[in-house]
Structure 1
Amino acid sequence: MEKHQLRSGYTTGTCAAAAARAAAAMLLTGNQLQHMKLVTPKGTEADLPLFHVVIKDQEAKCAVQKDAGDDPDVTDKALVFAAVRHFDGDEAEAQKTCYRYDGGDGTGPLFLTAGEGIGWVTRPGLSCPVGLPAINPVPRAMIFENVEEARRQAGFEGPLKISISMPEGKKLAEKTFNSKLGIEGGLSVLGTTGIVKPMSEDALTATIRLELHMKAVAGDKRVILTPGNYGEAFIKETLSLSMREGVTCSNFIGEAFEMAGEEGFEQILFAGHIGKLIKVAGGVYNTHSKYGDRRMEILWDCVRAVIKDLDERKSAILSANTMEEAAGILKEHGILKPVMEEVVRRIRKYTTLWSGGKRVEVVTFSTADGILGMSQGAEDLIGHFAKETVPAEITGG
């Protein structure tokens, strides 16, 4: 069967820049447009159709519909609006809520702000200042450059104000990490190349790094890492800790520990379901199944390291469908505890290595039996997190 090549799309930043350029051109010329061309930072030309075009004396507004290609982007098919109007307000006051661009050559400044559905930054550590819209540097530059070009082509030198909005943004933002990052009220305007690469792992690891960076900027020296939803639920329900101190790292275990080390975290609590963490005990850097599944082989190696006379159960363990089933076999033989101690020891060895020698404590669990294994210092570290969690929950902070 011929392999289907995944189709690329355009970033929110490209859509916003195209809409802004079109709105500026229509405001300054009075001519209604059907589409707008621009060149993305990657050098690809985009020719995007326009929707909901409105031209008034002082303002023009239009939208571009986001096309994310074959990437499962929550913003796919959402409308990205840009409104451009003549600016006659107080420049100093505008800079409190707007980005400013000075084109030079005697032209007036351009101001960029956000309308409905675009988030605002409330915490430090992002590439946008606190108190301004979450419009990242590359799309910000694209918007300014394209509006400046439209202004130049129209022979206009006066100041303009640009506003980007996405009516569906606030609702769509609930499906993103924005609230955890301190972006309130809507989506971010993102993009570095202007092109959306389908199923990009880079986007996932960039999010993990950003979350860790923001916690580091906030002064945190301890962090919780967990692979996914099971781990998050366990941290909240069993350990009674808040995920305010946590970062979900998916299958990117090794990279997450490297990032945590690079960001200067001194203590890391690693908590997760045994089905995922057993791979880490075998030194598996990325636990996605596409890189192989050696869970039972790794478990058997841990069994042999601590129990010498269980060869008759080797086939049962190696043929177990799940780690829950395998743990049940170990429990029947009364050896679950020492084997899990070995598993935790190996997980700690690899994660400590990946983090650059930071203090790592490990807790692993199963749905059937709860906590299966815990490193010696884990309880103490959990206690430190508990002290930090309680006041925040009491105060609602």
Structure 2
Amino acid sequence: MVLTSTVNVLLIEDNLAEARLLQEILKGAHLKQFNLCHVKRLEEGLQKVQQERFDIILLDLTLPDSAGLESLNPLLKLAPHIPIVVLTNTNDDDLAVEAVRRGAQDFLVKRHVTLELLVRSLCYAIERKQVAEELREMNEKLENRVQERTAELLKAKELNQLKTEFVSMLSHDFRNPLNTILLSAGLLEDSSDRLTKEQQLTYFQMIRTAIKDMDQLLTEVLIIGRADSGRLKLNPIPLNLKEFCQYIIDSFRINLIPSHQLIFNSQGNFEQGLWDENLLRHILNNLLGNAIKYSPEGGKIRVDLIEKGERVILSVEDQGIGIPLEDQQKLFKPFFRANNVENIAGTGLGLAIVQRCVETHGGQIEVKSQVGEGTTFIVTLPFIWEE
């Protein structure tokens, strides 16, 4: 989590001497500049929050117009996005726990405040609040996506089967990222005072990665839903097909382990023609991703792009584990995975997406494979010309 170099702090404190002391302490900070706005009453603080932008609030619990943890409620209601650090003269663990339970990010005893403690508390409180907001927003997004997908399933051809598979997929493939999020969030909540900043940032990154995995899974399911409900549309644009394929392949080369070899060969003129860039990207990304995933170290992956009359033939060949003959007819079914993939991670959606993108582009796809020798996917697409 990256914080800006300037942090705007609203201090709600009726004791002028203590307010000045806090201001002097923050002046000693070197890595960040803290701009302190001081008010003496809760009502003044509520007005300031509506008038100016603050990154964090320092709240004293003994104010002339409010006392105790009840002071938190109007601030949280008015500005739930702003983290609050509570200040008190009492070293009371029960009060600290209750303050955090009610929504405060941290609890500081005034007589124990030092520059290091105060700066760390403010920065970590802002970081934790930002992560919480990201999780809340992502949760809303995921809920909307699930609702959208559910509505699409109601219109699908194989409604009952797809609903069953979707629920099964959610329970299985969402479990790992959800467990990562819950575990990391729990550690950040319960052990933040014992974790170094680097450890906290590691857990923040684990949460983000898990969220991205879940979002990617929902995106894949959404593509299947659009295709099966007839809403995956072809949007062709002028595109040099050879250069496009080369770009996608080069992006994969960057992340290949040294022992893998990715070979690209093209024959023909691909400077003219209209192609749907998004559909092609899904096709290539999934076929190449699978070829790499299921290939051993030292394996070669070959991509051929060949012009053949009014059609283009795109083939992706690997030297991987191969696909059992009895599984080849089911490859393009959503959520299906061959019985020899063992512990290799996957959702069973990639090839289903490829087939639907190929068909939307007016093409066909076939597979040739032998167990232990490798697999070749052959995609045939028609040229589309400008009128």
* Structure number with higher relative contact order (C-alpha < 8 Å, ≥ 6 residues apart): 1
Structure number with larger C-alpha Rg: 2
Q: Please confirm whether the aligned pair reaches a TM-score higher than 0.5, indicating the same fold.
A: no
Q: Greater share of helix residues, 1 or 2?
A: 2
Q: TM-score scaled by structure 1?
A: 0.34
